[in-house]
Structure 1
Amino acid sequence: MSKDVDYSDGKLADAEALVQGVDTGDDLDQHPGHGAPASEVSQSPLWKKLIWEGGFPLDGFLTAASAQVILNLPNSMAKLSLVGGIFTQVGCAAFAVYTLFLLVALYHEYKRDEVRKGTWYNNGGKTRTRVTQYHSIITNVTGLRWLGEFARIVNIVELVGLGVAQIIASASNFYSLGTGLSKRDYTFIFGALALLTTLIPSFRNMRLFSLLALIGTTYTSWYMMAESWKHGLNAAAATQPPLGLDAFFQGFSNIVFTFGGHCMIMELVDSQFRPSKFSKTFATALTYVTLTLTLPNALFTFLAFPAEAAVKGNAFAIFPPSAAKNVGIVLMVAHQLVAFALFLLPVSIMWEKLVGTHYKALRWRLSSRIPVGLFVWFIALMLPFFGVINDLLGAFAVTFETYIIPCVAWSLYYRTQERRDNAILKPPRWLGGWTGAFILNAFITLSMAVAGLGFGGYSSVVGLIDAVSSFGLFAKCYNC
């Protein structure tokens, strides 16, 4: 029976309550993660509570829903065929929601262990300033340091790649407004702007930025649907077969990439005032994204422009010039700059810990992040291949961090009856309980290893080799 103790002010209670009061997710929610506790935030000025101090389910929803790929999904739909594209999007979204549940369960086991040992609060035993990260959770719950380090490497590769993709996409989108400058010139410009976003302190401070990003993806997706409907849908496109085996798995890898934000999710969970409720928040966000943004915009655009969707990786290149399109371009560039901040934040925190600034004053923490942003900017200039980067990340990074590692780590942790009996978050009955979860984990691991990493990896490497052979490194203009 949990002892009723109030931890909302971020301070430790007596030792007995500390050990006994962590039996449920609600109990653990009373032990704040990094950042100011809810009681302190509630006393902040109104303007600060409205636009700066997050940590509520709304903030979790906005952040989870805003960092979303939409512009190259019509191309993926064309590569996969209509039925293949729909099935892959819905399947990957459902699996992503499920594996997020697994990670949140492991986060709570990690947190309970830290609380019981008395090591959760690191700031003189009063508050927690250390950010909990994906690889730390994997190391702790599995006891396998090599698996945690592998998770760290995979996440760094993906986070850096995602940052690169945002700069490339910004340059590509703005280039379509007018060709006064080359895409490389725009990459210089937007790389500099993106660098500024690394100065946003934490996920707690993303509310206004995430709202702007979600407005951008929502407007652009609905614009694409409206423009496609206005143009007219081609019924024959619905029966068009995949474009070939390599193209099929390139499209598959890109859709896997679309739902691969788990590399930043643990930091977001740790910033929430009620982490135990985040699984529902994430499921709501991904349902909104899949059913109102990614699936409809890909479907409508492909049915209206099947030939163009098959050859153009950026959907803006498909639609005719218009004021509505220009608004979408500007909003999507804003979205991509925000997404850059979201994806670079976890790797920036890793960098802070490496160089020893993570526990120092905010000015030292933020200034120490600049080399990370500069490195990502350089990679974007060197490999400006819109779409190809997404396919590579989907095959070699997302398959691990979103799908395989959560399934393997969860199965390893709960392999004993004692841990299953004491689990904070148990698998739902409709899934088949523990047996159903273990079977589903094995299926996801095997299918993603074969289709995503194997076939998808091969096809993505072929695409990269073709791009480098055709345009070279530091290309001035890719697909102009």
Structure 2
Amino acid sequence: IPFMFNCVQWFEVLDGLLGKHWRNTGLFFNCTFLLFGSVIQLIACASNIYYINDNLDKRTWTYIFGACCATTVFIPSFHNYRIWSFLGLLMSTYTAWYLTIASLIHGQVERVKHFVPKTMILYFTGATNILYTFGGLTQEIMHAMWKPQKFKLTYLVATLNLLTLTLPSASAVYRAFGDLLLPHSNALALLPSTQFRCTAEVLQLF
């Protein structure tokens, strides 16, 4: 396969430069990161559906969505994810702008506070939230591209689009609710229950 059409993983680069031990270390780190990322996504889905239907607890919803998501192993190729990626982009766009508009309409809560972190735990909690605000764009997108040589342009456009989704919503929600976000794992829980919020919660399940 010509090099320009081949997708090289970063741990394969470690294999070529530093040897198989570093490759295995990188592969182990990558698998661990994906495992914990998947668990976080399942918990987030369970949290969303819990606000729509609280007849079951969050742990039960996590098991249900875990079983449903496990069926994705039957998808034969990364290229088949392309339509789901496009739909996911539309769903994320709706949710992000719903959070922005709803927070601006809601306005600041009474005596809203915006404290700076005073302990190491709070500091790293905030740092983690910032990292998750900007999401993650990795080289895996190349596996779904028919022309991976255009990855640089695709990555740039994806990053710019990500900024338009994350910065306005994160700023608007934090301005409106401040430190009330700290004990809440889901920002949607702070907004009043409306048809628009339910739509956002359902869309985030996909």
Alignment TM-score, normalising by the size of structure 2: 0.88
Residue correspondence of structure 1 range 234-273 to structure 2 within 5 A: 240-242=115-117, 244-257=119-132, 258-262=134-138, 265=139, 267-273=140-146
Match of 2:72 among 197, 206, 226: 197
Q: 1:286, 1:261 → 2: CA distance?
A: 8
Other-structure match for 1:283: 156
CA distance 1:166–1:248, change in 2 (3 Å):
same
Kindly provide the amino acid, as one letter, of the partner of residue 178 in structure 2. Answer: P
Deviations 1:10-34 (A, max 9, x none): 7xxxxxxxxxxx8xxxxx43xx34x
Change in Cα spacing, 1:261 to 1:206, as seen in structure 2 (3 Å) is same
Taking structure 1 as reference, are residues 289 and 219 closer, same or farther at Cα in structure 2, changes over 3 Å only? same
| Corresponding residue for residue 167 of structure 1 | 42
Q: Residue 303 and residue 242 in structure 1: after superposition, are their counterparts in 2 closer, same or farther (change >3 A)?
A: same
CA–CA separation in structure 1 for the residues paired with 2:65 and 2:92: 18
Aligned to 1:396: none
| Aligned equivalent of 2:55 | 180
- CA displacement 1:442-479 (0-9 Å, x = unmatched): xxxxxxxxxxxxxxxxxxxxxxxxxxxxxxxxxxxxxx
**Paired amino acid for 2:23:** G
Structure 1 counterpart of 2:96: 221
For residues 238 and 294 of structure 1, do their structure 2 counterparts lie closer, same or farther at Cα, with a shift above 3 Å needed? farther
Equivalent pair of 1:238/1:303 in contact (CA under 8 Å) = no
Residue 225 of structure 1: CA displacement? 0.7
**Residues 145 and 259 of structure 1, relative CA distance in 2, 3 Å threshold:** farther
Deviations 1:45-78 (A, max 9, x none): xxxxxxxxxxxxxxxxxxxxxxxxxxxxxxxxxx
Contact 2:108 2:175 in 1 (8 A): yes
Deviation at 1:217, TM superposition (A): 1.0
1:261 shift after superposition = 4.3
Runs of 4+ in 1 over 6 A off after TM superposition: none
CA contact (8 A) 1:171 1:183 kept: yes
Amino acid across the alignment from 2:65: F
Return the alpha-carbon distance in structure 2 between the equivalents of residues 161 and 223 of structure 1.
28
**CA separation of 1:242 and 1:143: change in aligned 2, threshold 3 A:** closer
Alpha-carbon distance, 1:254 to partner = 3.6
CA contact 2:82–2:144 (8 Å) conserved in 1: no
Q: What are the Cα deviations for residues 395-438 of structure 1, in whole angstroms up to 9, with x where unaligned?
A: xxxxxxxxxxxxxxxxxxxxxxxxxxxxxxxxxxxxxxxxxxxx
Matched, 1:302 2:177: no
Q: Distance in 2 between matches of 1:232 and 1:272?
A: 42
> 2 CA distance for matches of 1:254 and 1:144?
35
* CA 239–254 in structure 1, closer or farther in 2 if over 3 Å, else same: closer
Per-residue deviation, 1:302: 0.8
Q: CA deviation at 1:243?
A: 5.3
Aligned-pair distance for 1:199?
A: 1.8
Measured in 1, the distance between the counterparts of 2:29 and 2:67 equals: 26
Mapping for residues 450-469 of structure 1, pairs under 5 Å: none
Residue number in structure 1 paired with 2:14: 138
Deviation at 1:193, TM superposition (A): 1.0
How many angstroms does 1:238 deviate by?
8.4
Tell whether the 8 Å contact from 1:174 to 1:330 is kept in structure 2 after alignment.
yes
Q: Distance in 2 between matches of 1:209 and 1:161?
A: 22
Note the residue ranges of structure 1 that are not aligned, 5 or more in a row: 1-9, 11-21, 23-27, 34-106, 108-131, 335-480
Alignment match of 1:322 (pick from 171, 174, 194): 194
SS at match of 2:74: coil
Corresponding residue for residue 105 of structure 2? 230
Whether the aligned pair in 2 keeps the contact of 1:233 and 1:300 (CA below 8 Å) is no
Give secondary structure in 2 for the equivalent of 1:206.
Answer: helix
- What is the CA–CA distance in structure 2 between the aligned matches of 1:238 and 1:276, rounded to whole Å? 48
SS of 2:198's partner is: helix
- 1:146 is matched by which residue type in structure 2? H
Contact 1:168 1:187 in 2 (8 A): yes
**Residue 240 (structure 1) shift:** 3.7
Instruction: Tell me: CA distance 1:285–1:192, structure 2 relative to 1, closer, same or farther (3 Å).
Output: same
Separation in 2, partners of 1:311, 1:204? 39
Write the mapping of 1:89-168 to structure 2, written as runs, cut at 5 A: 132-140=8-16, 142-168=17-43
State the number of aligned residues: 205
Secondary structure at the counterpart of residue 305 of structure 1:
helix
What is the alpha-carbon distance in structure 2 between the residues aligned to residue 241 and residue 184 of structure 1?
32
In the alignment, does 2:147 pair up with 1:274? yes
Q: For 2:167 and 2:106, how far apart are their aligned partners in 1?
A: 19
Over 3 Å counting, the alpha-carbon distance change for 1:243 and 1:233 in structure 2 is farther
- Letter of the 1:301 counterpart: V
1:99-122 per-residue CA deviation (whole Å, 9 max, x = no partner) reads xxxxxxxx6xxxxxxxxxxxxxxx
